[in-house]
Amino acid sequence: MDIQHEKKDFSIVSLDESFFFYDSLVRRVWIDAKKRPVVRIIGSHELSCLFGAISMDQKQLFRQYTKFNTETFLDFLKIIHSRFQKCYLFMGKASPHYESKRVKDYLEENKDTLISVYLPTASPESMILEEIWNIAKRELIILGYYSSFEDFREKVSRYFRTKRFGLNMRNYLLRTVQEHI
């Protein structure tokens, strides 16, 4: 059996994480020249770490964690692996992705069904999830108000459970290939 035939039932999945801070996100806005802009901030340092995965066929998977470390990444990696039993997993080079012994061991144990592909460092244009994070932060945080951190986490969770982004992952991955040709 040739390699092409063996790999044809693999999904292509992109993975990333981002921090959503429970505070106002200041952006440039159009205002009346005679008025001084006022931005109310909470001053909170609380955050929610969002892990996301999206497949070439638009399947989405998002999870919220309180922090980003080896344990949370490995937990999310196992969830991805259960959802996409065979996949090429495109991801950045954050240290929990490739420096952790536990993650390396898990990837090695599952090397026939979970193939990691590391994207070049500092190349957000190659990551479809970077665009998703930008969209989500614009819709959730800019001009958003949440009565409590729990309210914030719940609304973030609901947003990612119901929102369909409809972006074409092929365009993002092709940017990476074209830059290296």
Which of these, 7, 21, 16, lies nearest to 60 by C-alpha position? 16
Alpha-carbon torsion, ordered 67, 71, 73, 79, to 10 deg:
-120
**Residue 35 in tokens:** 């008025």
In this structure, what DSSP letter does residue 107 have? H
Neighbours of 161 (CB within 10 A): 9
The domain limits of the chain are 8-179
**Residue 57 in tokens:** 């066929």
Report percent pLDDT > 90 for the chain.
Answer: 56
CATH tag for 8-179 (out of 3.90.470.20, 3.30.420.10, 3.40.50.300, 3.40.50.740): 3.30.420.10
Question: What are the tens digits of pLDDT across the range 22-64?
Answer: 876 655 666 777 887 665 666 677 899 999 999 999 999 999 9
Neighbours of 126 (CB within 10 A): 20
**Mean pLDDT across the stretch 12-30?**
80
Question: What are the tens digits of pLDDT across the range 106-151?
Answer: 999 999 999 999 988 777 788 899 999 999 998 998 767 788 899 9
